[in-house]
Amino acid sequence: MALAMVAEDRQINDVLEELFAEEGNEMQIRPADLYLREEEEMNFYEIILRARQRKEIVIGYRLESAERAIINPPAKDMRRRWSSKDVFVVIAEKE
């Protein structure tokens, strides 16, 4: 699948190289309280902006009540009340 993505878009190649490199960024799970306060109402775009201040890229989330994460959520402009028990999937510098 990754090869097909690279064939379609050369910029994706740069992203994949970064993710698979020994040093650099990696996918991580971060607690919601790094980006918001308990029960704060925000949309996904606003979460992305807050993560950008930390030099991170949010690509998805998993709600406390859900079994699976949602990557690249379709309704990014939908406002919701987030819980501190929700988590975000981010691309961030390796720790």
**Please, which pLDDT band fits residue 12 given cuts at 50, 70 and 90?**
low
Task: Give the SS3 label for residue 15.
Answer: helix
Would you say residue 63 has pLDDT above 60? yes
- The predicted-structure confidence for 68-82, as pLDDT tens digits, reads as follows 999 999 999 999 999
Segment 6-20 shows an average pLDDT of 63
Q: Which domains does the chain have, with CATH numbers?
A: 23-93 (3.30.70)
What pLDDT is attached to residue 82? 94
Residue scoring higher pLDDT (18 or 72): 72
pLDDT at 42: 96
* 7 CB neighbour count, 10 Å cutoff: 10
Check if the beta carbon of residue 93 is closer than 8 Å to that of residue 24.
Answer: yes
